[in-house]
């Protein structure tokens, strides 16, 4: 087949040639919908997708050479910003040794140890290649351990794209409904799986007694409690959401941050459950790339930086400033907004009333969100192109960045009614 040449704007990030439409056409020719992950198509905000080719700190550059202040942050993976120099050096050193070996690498042990030291509920770890794989593997483990089939999940929580059968659902943040559903299905229920802070209906914090009531009823009914900390692990502090809220789950899934920007996922828990994985037990899980040495290297470098120079206070202070500024900007523009912020994650919802579950998130004004996000993009601020995603701050964001976003957001909010 005769392939047209790759557009020069993709080959050369410094190029100022506006050749995006050629690149997009070609993307759609060779990739389904032009993407490998649907949200990247920008269809939820009704504009052409960006192709990013370079990043440093909190800044990214697209294929036409335009700069953006980035709040996607690799969908939460890049807590240290893009291309942190220490992570880069570690990767360079690792590359002088090998790319992969296919057998156990010492760095797998080192990263697993860092996880167990940071997260008290985790004694042993099994690494996977993605958060999706971690979640489906954890479900398989829970089913084998309890010898039950059903899983209870919460509307609006996302645990990766693997289809899971035998799932029952309950609304997020409704402790009474969840308790009722768990009690009724207890004999058949392997686990209750939850994002302890929801990040995939936009950011939604758990109400004061929601997680503790899940812990209480699952313990009483002999059902496992599985926290999906793919987003919150090492973002809400070293011990993740479970450390922040003081709740110990039976199993935890990780991803994103623990790979320092390289593909990763992990299941963690106490040895008595984890030992059910082969070769010790009967739950088969394996993978050519499981525990890939480069992901381990980048993960170790990142977790060590987070341990030695914790950026959490800095990020949370900036996120609070951003949240308060956005609420004020909504008032000034007379546009009803709700800003949900937890740790260094934030979502702006166009709604007159609080957003505490998926139904309320779905009811927000999506056209206004689209106009707001497009207006920000036009002035070089990259927020997630969907009303159901979180803005992520990194240690590379500064007060000056927050001021810039707030200036832009104030102007953008004035345009949403038009
Ligand atoms: C809470 C949660 N769990 C699981 C996943 C799936 O992770 P991955 O995209 O690495 O497969 C995601 C992805 O965003 C997520 O947010």
Q: Given 150, 250, 256, 365, which residue is catalytic? A: 256
- What SS3 state is found at 340? strand
Peptide bond into 279 cis (omega under 30): yes
For Cα atoms 200, 203, 206, give the angle at the middle one, nearest 5 degrees: 105
Which band of pLDDT confidence, cut at 50, 70 and 90, is reported for residue 21? confident
Q: Given 62, 107, 228, 365, which residue is catalytic? A: 228
For Cα atoms 55, 303, 233, give the angle at the middle one, nearest 5 degrees: 90
Q: What is the pLDDT of residue 19?
A: 57
- Average pLDDT of the chain is 95
Nearest ligand 1 atom to the CA of 200 is 16
Report, as an integer, the average pLDDT of 234-240: 98
- What SS3 state is found at 37? coil
Residue 14, pLDDT above cutoff 60 = no
pLDDT digits (tens, 9 = 90+) for 243-257: 999 999 999 999 999
Distance 207 CA to ligand 1 centre (A): 22
Residues 343 and 240: their CA atoms lie apart, in Å, by 10
**Contacts of 103-109 spanning 24+ positions with Cβ under 8 A:** 104/291, 105/291, 105/293, 105/296, 107/293, 107/296, 107/297, 107/300, 108/291, 108/293, 108/296
Residues 332 and 323: their CA atoms lie apart, in Å, by 14
Report, as an integer, the average pLDDT of 3-23: 51
Query: And the tokens for 30?
Result: 């060779």
Name residues contacting ligand 1 (CB within 6 A): 75, 130-132, 135, 158-160, 195, 199-200, 228, 230-231, 255, 265
Which band of pLDDT confidence, cut at 50, 70 and 90, is reported for residue 164? confident
Nearest ligand 1 atom to the CA of 157 is 1
Looking at the structure, give the CATH architecture of the domain made up of residues 106-308. Answer: 3-Layer(aba) Sandwich (3.40)
Residue with CA closest to ligand 1 atom 7: 131
Domains of the chain by residue range? 106-308
Distance 160 CA to ligand 1 centre (A): 5
Distance 156 CA to ligand 1 centre (A): 13
Q: What is the pLDDT of residue 266?
A: 99
Residue 68, pLDDT above cutoff 50 = yes
Side-chain-side CA neighbours of 300 within 13 Å: the count stands at: 19
Residue 18, pLDDT above cutoff 60 = no
Residue 283, pLDDT above cutoff 90 = yes
pLDDT digits (tens, 9 = 90+) for 45-59: 999 999 999 999 999
Q: What is the pLDDT of residue 11?
A: 44
Residues 381 and 24: their CA atoms lie apart, in Å, by 21
Residue 31, pLDDT above cutoff 80 = yes
pTM, 2 dp: 0.95
Distance 158 CA to ligand 1 centre (A): 7
Among the listed residues 58, 61, 64, the one whose alpha carbon sits nearest the alpha carbon of residue 24 = 64
pLDDT digits (tens, 9 = 90+) for 81-117: 999 999 999 999 999 999 999 999 999 999 999 999 9
């Amino acid at each position: 087949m005769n392939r047209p040449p790759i557009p020069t704007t993709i080959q050369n990030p410094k190029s100022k040639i506006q050749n995006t439409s050629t690149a997009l056409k070609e993307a759609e020719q060779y990739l389904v919908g032009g993407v490998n992950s649907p949200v990247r198509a920008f269809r939820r905000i009704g504009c052409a997708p960006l192709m990013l080719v370079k990043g440093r700190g909190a800044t990214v550059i697209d294929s036409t050479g335009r700069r953006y202040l980035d709040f996607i942050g690799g969908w939460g993976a890049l807590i240290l910003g893009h291309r942190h120099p220490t992570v880069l050096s570690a990767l360079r050193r690792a590359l002088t040794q090998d790319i992969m070996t296919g057998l156990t690498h010492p760095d797998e042990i080192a990263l697993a140890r860092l996880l167990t030291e940071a997260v008290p509920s985790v004694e042993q770890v099994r690494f996977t290649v993605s958060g999706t794989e971690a979640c489906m593997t954890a479900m398989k483990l829970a089913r084998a351990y309890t010898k039950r089939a059903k899983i209870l999940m919460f509307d609006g929580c996302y645990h990766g794209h693997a289809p899971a059968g035998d799932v029952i659902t309950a609304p997020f943040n409704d402790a009474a409904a969840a308790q009722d559903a768990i009690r009724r299905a207890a004999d058949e229920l392997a686990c209750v799986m939850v994002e302890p802070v929801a990040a995939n209906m936009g950011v939604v914090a758990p109400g004061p007694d929601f997680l503790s009531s899940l812990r209480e009823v699952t313990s009483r009914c002999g059902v496992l409690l599985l926290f999906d900390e793919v987003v919150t692990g090492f973002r809400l502090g070293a011990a993740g959401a479970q450390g922040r809220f003081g709740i110990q789950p039976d199993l935890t899934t990780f991803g994103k941050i623990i790979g320092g920007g390289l593909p990763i996922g992990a299941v963690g828990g106490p040895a008595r459950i984890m030992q059910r994985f082969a070769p010790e037990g009967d739950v088969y899980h394996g993978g050519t790339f499981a525990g890939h040495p480069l992901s381990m290297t980048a993960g170790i470098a990142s977790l060590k930086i987070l341990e030695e120079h914790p950026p959490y206070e800095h990020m949370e202070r900036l996120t609070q400033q951003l949240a308060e500024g956005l609420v004020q900007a909504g008032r000034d523009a007379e546009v009803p907004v709700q800003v949900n912020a937890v740790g260094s994650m934030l979502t702006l919802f166009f709604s007159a009333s609080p957003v505490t579950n998926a139904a309320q998130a779905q009811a927000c004004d999506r056209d206004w969100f689209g106009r707001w996000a497009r207006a920000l993009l036009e002035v070089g601020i990259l927020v997630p192109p969907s009303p159901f995603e979180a803005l992520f701050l990194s240690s590379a964001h500064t007060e000056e960045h927050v001021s810039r976003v707030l200036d832009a957001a104030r102007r953008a909010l004035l345009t949403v009614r038009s």
